[in-house]
Amino acid sequence: MKTFRSLVDKLDEQVGNGLENVLCARHQRRLHRLGWGEVLEPDGAGDRFGGRAEVRRGNRVEVLVDGEEALPAIQAAIRNATSHVHIANWHASPDFRLTREPGAPTLRELLATTADRGVDVRLLLWAGPPVPAFQPTRGLVRSEQRKFTENTAVRCVLDARERTLHCHHEKLVIVDDTVAFVGGVDFTALEGDRHDSPEHPPDRPIGWHDLMTRLDGPVVADVAEHFRQRWTEVAGEDLAKPDVPEPAGSSDVQLLRTVPDKTYGFAPRGEFTILDGYLRALRSARRLIYLENQFLWSPEIAEILIDKLCDPPDDRFRVVLLLPRKPSNGADTTRGQLGRLLGADDGNRRLLAATISTHDGESAAPVYVHAKLGIVDDEWMTIGSANLNEHSLFNDTEVNVATGDRELIRATRLRLWAEHLRRPEPELDTDPADVVDELWRPIAEEQADRERRGERRTHRLVLLPGVSRRAERLQGPLRGLLVDG
């Protein structure tokens, strides 16, 4: 039996390697054909920002953690609009409320009231899949569109220019071209409740950890221009090119996008600067890679992490991954890549992969990690809508922002680690390797041991299992092979 299992494991590894090689070769051919091939090749310059997307100077960036902080800030900005409100999202529900205060308006009411004041309100949503294979279906989206627009001055346009089996996934709000929000928060309760706090109270079916950024300054023009480009093509309304706002802070910010080729006239060869940004930053890592993400499918990302773990750039180099326990449609692929990473770490304990849940005495509930965050060495950070999978890096429309503001990056990491570790920030303000070795790992391992013994867990953090067949981890990317060009 042992010999048979060994043969199965070897066959599985060969199949996994073969499928992954096919997928990566497909991506290489596609990007080279489109003039983006250099993204996949290390350029040796060590420049985390590169020249493929403009770096705007003089911005103010505020990181909004979880729905409790992000949603009220967006509502306040919309209420203060004087010229226009532009929203692009994967899906938005008219009955969604951005706050849970007594008397809080629904999203439809908020937008309609804003439009009644003479503010132009434009809402750009994905039209849904062409066949009702998953949510939101086109029937549902059309129904929601009618609710937004009936007896209101709100304009809601549906974008059906997606690549086959892919979507428009970005989450943007632009107000008066002077403030913008970019991140991962959807305006819907579809597939999960977006309202949550860093406490993640277990009084709901599932918690929801997410991130949004509020932007002030010149980079807002880039967010506004992206919306203008999409809206002009889809709605047929020629919007004025946004003016560049005056400097509002000290942060350098870069807008990164995924725009698939053959989707829009403004980018016939596509744009893959999110992939470019991640690959540049991860290749440059020396001491710390910290990722929060819904998925970890991408072999391009995994290969860099594997190389770093096999040949660490520093004895105190660490990789920390915060992933959901059960991704909505990619559990095996996420776990499979994680299994490869653990194998590359080879017991050196440089890699830690964990998830979070919430506990209150006898009550417990999972917390879904929906955030899309990357931090490298406290010197580069990206937040946006892009997952680390083939959809987000090659085939969906996505928008991220990246910054090199070290003070902001360190403050963001400490705040998030305080949330997940349940420790005060000053206790964590030391060498990240020490925090990983002395807090992250002991807590996560202890809670995993309690689970294995059938005992009740006492902390929200726990290790993720990393075992699955290599071929299984490629279920998601395999689907990409059928529709990727």
Domain with CATH 3.30.870.10 in the chain: 2-53+270-483, 55-253
CATH number of 2-53+270-483: 3.30.870.10
Q: Which residues pair with 168 in a beta bridge?
A: 397
Instruction: Count other C-beta atoms under 10 Å from residue 174's C-beta.
Output: 28
Instruction: Tell me how many degrees the CA angle 403-407-411 measures, rounded to the nearest 5.
Output: 100
Domain 55-253: state its class. Answer: alpha beta
Q: How many residues does the chain have?
A: 485
Q: How far apart are CA 126 and CA 162, in angstroms?
A: 8
Which residues of the chain have a pLDDT value below 50? 485
Q: Taking a C-beta distance cutoff of 8 angstroms, is the pair 110, 79 a contact?
A: yes
Segment holding 444, helix H or strand E:
helix 441-452
> What is the predicted pLDDT for the residue at 249?
98
Q: How many Cα atoms within 13 Å fall on the side-chain side of residue 325?
A: 16
What is the DSSP secondary structure assignment for residue 83, as one 8-state letter?
Answer: S
Q: Which residues pair with 296 in a beta bridge?
A: 388
Q: Which residues pair with 368 in a beta bridge?
A: 208
Q: Taking a C-beta distance cutoff of 8 angstroms, is the pair 414, 428 a contact?
A: yes
* E strands, 112-262, in order: 120-126, 155-159, 172-175, 179-183, 207-209, 211-216, 251-259
> What is the predicted pLDDT for the residue at 485?
43
Instruction: Tell me how many degrees the CA angle 128-134-136 measures, rounded to the nearest 5.
Output: 40
Tokens linked to 236:
């047929």
The CA-to-CA distance between both ends of the chain, in Å, stands at: 42
3-class state of residue 290 by DSSP: strand
Q: How far apart are CA 130 and CA 106, in angstroms?
A: 28
Strand 271-272 and strand 251-259: the pairing is antiparallel
Q: Per-residue pLDDT tens for 352-384? A: 999 998 876 677 778 999 999 999 999 999 999
> What is the predicted pLDDT for the residue at 358?
85
Q: Which of 189, 78, 198 is nearest to 144 (CA)?
A: 189
Q: Taking a C-beta distance cutoff of 8 angstroms, is the pair 284, 402 a contact?
A: no
Q: Per-residue pLDDT tens for 431-480? A: 999 999 999 999 999 999 998 998 888 999 999 876 555 555 555 555 55
> What is the predicted pLDDT for the residue at 330?
52
